[in-house]
């Protein structure tokens, strides 16, 4: 898995599909410089090996009525593994929580939440998050405006690194 290193063509495929996940296979093949059939085999292999975890349309949250984005920093009373896992499981079941990451430092978790409006978020905050067992502190920050939101990884950095240490 981790031993199966990728060649430059595989990395190009990943970079192209990260930029446009709905590109046809022939277009992709043209861009990476091989013919279509082997290109398709490579894509399937990358999917099976987990380098590609899925494909998603990027929908406009605001246009769909989710006007509010909030980051919530959560501190727990107990950081025992069972308690951490229990909180993570809660987050997986809350639809308004789109991301949940465990952090080092002062807070234990950062949550990225969306909501239709402020009152919708407040309802979630006071009715769900703050009433959850073991939640000791929650600090929320509203997103005033988004300046950059690029999914995935910077492939140019990856290529730079690989060219310096082969």
Partner DNA sequence: AGTGAAAGTACAGCTGA
Partner DNA sequence: TCAGCTGTACTTTCACT
Separation of alpha carbons 12 and 18, rounded Å: 10
Q: Is 42 in the site for DNA (CB under 7 A)?
A: yes
**Beta carbon of residue 36, minimum distance to DNA (angstroms, whole number):** 5
Cβ neighbours of 152 (radius 10 Å): 10
Q: Tell me phi and psi for residue 7, to 5 degrees.
A: -90, 170
Positions in 12-51 near a copy of itself (CB under 8 A): 14, 17-22, 50-51
Distances (CA, A) of 67 to 79, 89, 114: 33, 26, 8
Q: Which residues contact 78 (CB under 8 A, 6 or more apart)?
A: 134
> In the bound complex, what is the minimum distance in angstroms from residue 41's beta carbon to a copy of itself?
16
21 vs 36 by CB, closer to a copy of itself: 21
CA–CA separation, 34 and 116 (whole Å): 46
- Pick from a copy of itself, DNA, none: which does 26 bind, CB < 5 to 8 A by kind? DNA
For DNA, the binding residues (CB under 7 A) are: 9, 24-27, 34-38, 40-42
For a copy of itself, the binding residues (CB under 8 A) are: 1-2, 6, 11, 14, 17-22, 50-61, 63-66, 69, 71, 88, 91-92, 95-107, 109-110, 114, 116, 139-154, 156-158, 161
């Amino acid at each position: 898995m981790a031993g199966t290193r990728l060649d430059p063509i595989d990395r190009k495929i990943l970079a192209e599909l990260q930029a446009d996940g709905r590109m046809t296979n022939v277009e992709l093949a043209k861009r990476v410089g091989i013919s279509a059939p082997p290109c398709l085999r490579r894509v399937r292999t990358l999917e099976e090996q987990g380098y590609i975890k899925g494909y998603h349309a990027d929908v406009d949250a605001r246009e769909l009525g989710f006007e509010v984005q909030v980051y919530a920093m959560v501190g727990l009373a107990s950081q025992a593994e069972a308690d951490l896992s229990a909180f993570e499981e809660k987050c997986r079941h809350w639809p308004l929580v789109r991301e949940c990451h465990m952090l080092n430092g002062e807070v234990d978790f950062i949550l990225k939440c969306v909501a239709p409006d402020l009152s919708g978020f407040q309802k979630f905050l006071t009715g769900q998050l703050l009433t959850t067992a073991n939640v000791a502190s929650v600090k929320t920050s509203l997103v005033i405006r988004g300046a950059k939101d690029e999914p995935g990884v910077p492939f140019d950095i990856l290529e730079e690194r690989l060219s310096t240490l082969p």
